[in-house]
Amino acid sequence: MGGDGEPCLFVASFAVGPGVCVWLALSELMPTRIRSNGMSIALLVNQFVSTVIAATFLPTVGQYGYATMFFYGAGCAALYFLTAAFLLPETKGKTLEEIEAHFSKA
């Protein structure tokens, strides 16, 4: 471990996982009337989870090792990717009204 490509791999994994779900998808999918409050709540939850992960990382590594944490993180990134790829609707070229109508049908 410790290669030069690892930070780039982490950034790429974040960009197709949690980065998409929290920052991009939520801002596009929330209706305009609740977007500011909804994004505030979503980002508060995101920061809380990040804090919990940071606080528990080293004790968990001490007990289970780095490989376990790496594979757990990789599993979470895979779940995020699958969620973004198969469950989130395509918003390219659609207006906010069309996106809202999609969710009101569901």
Three-state helix/strand/coil letters over 4-37: CCHHHHHHHHHHHCHHHHHHHHHHHHCCHHHHHH
**pTM for the whole thing?**
0.63
Separation of alpha carbons 16 and 71, rounded Å: 17
Instruction: Note the pLDDT of residue 79.
Output: 86
Give the residue extent of every domain in the chain. 47-106
For residue range 75-92, list pLDDT tens digits in order: 887 887 888 788 877 778
Residue 71 has pLDDT above 70, yes or no: yes
For residues 80 and 64, which has the higher predicted lDDT (pLDDT)?
64
Amino acid letter at 71?
A: F
